[in-house]
Structures are given as structure tokens and as C-alpha cells.
Amino acid sequence: MTDRDYVPNLIRPDSQWRELLSDPEYRVLRQGGTEAPFTGEYTDTETEGIYECRACGAELFRSDQKFHSHCGWPSFFAPLAEDRVRYLEDRSIPGRARVEVRCSNCDGHLGHVFEGEGYDTPTDLRYCINSVSMRLREAD
């Protein structure tokens, strides 16, 4: 399936997203915004659990995949499963190609993934994810 054939599982009209999400959540998840660095709820948390999409509740990342990158946003070295996220080429910054990460269930913007930065992780990937796009469901 090509990206242009992609259809999210959860489709809602924009007016419904605006009702369900706070202004900062809407700006990031539906408009592709970014929260300010070092301000997010989960930037430094080490609580055990599953990080879910704040828009639709899809499980995205495990706390044991999270690491301290000191970049200002929560960082993970892998998603819970590859089918939980989708990737888009992002050329919004001239001269700097990036890979956008979106929730595959609702198509909400989560952040970006970077490769080859030298972090001591199993994948050499850094999923730089906005705290406001996720909710932590703590382990029992």
C-alpha cells in the first residue's frame, strides 16, 4: 500500500477533534505542531507503563523503550510495534529532511524519528515524541 492509499482506522471531522482535544493537543496532533523543549509532562519521567496516543488511545511505546537523550522531548528507541506508527517525509525545514512519526490509527502527529546520532540504544534510532501527543498508562 502506498502512502496515498493510507486511510486511518479512526476518522473524525475536524470539529469533533477540536471538541475532544485541548488547544495544545489539537495544535500538535492535528496540525503537526511541536511543544516547547523541556516543557513536556513526560520529558524526564521514568514511570513504568505504556504510552498511548492522546487522541485515540492506541498503544504506541513502552516505558522500557524510553531513554534520556537530553533533547527536550521524550525519546524512545522503538515503537511498541511497527504497525502502531507510520512515517512521512518531512521537508518543512529547508535543507533538512526529517521523518515525521504519526499514529497509524488516527493519523495524529507524534513527532519525528532520527537515525545515526550515536546513542547507545539497540536500534540507533531516536523517536523524538511530543509529550502532549501521548498519555502514560502506568503499569499495575
Q: Do the Cβ atoms of 80 and 92 come closer than 8 Å?
A: no
- The candidate with the shortest Cα–Cα distance to 105, out of 22, 29, 24, is 29
* Cα–Cα distance list, 63 to 14, 55, 95, 118, 125 (Å): 31, 19, 33, 21, 16
Active site residues: 128
Bridge partners, 102 (sequence order): 86, 109
Q: Do the Cβ atoms of 71 and 128 come closer than 8 Å?
A: yes
- Residue position matching grid coordinates 523524538: 128
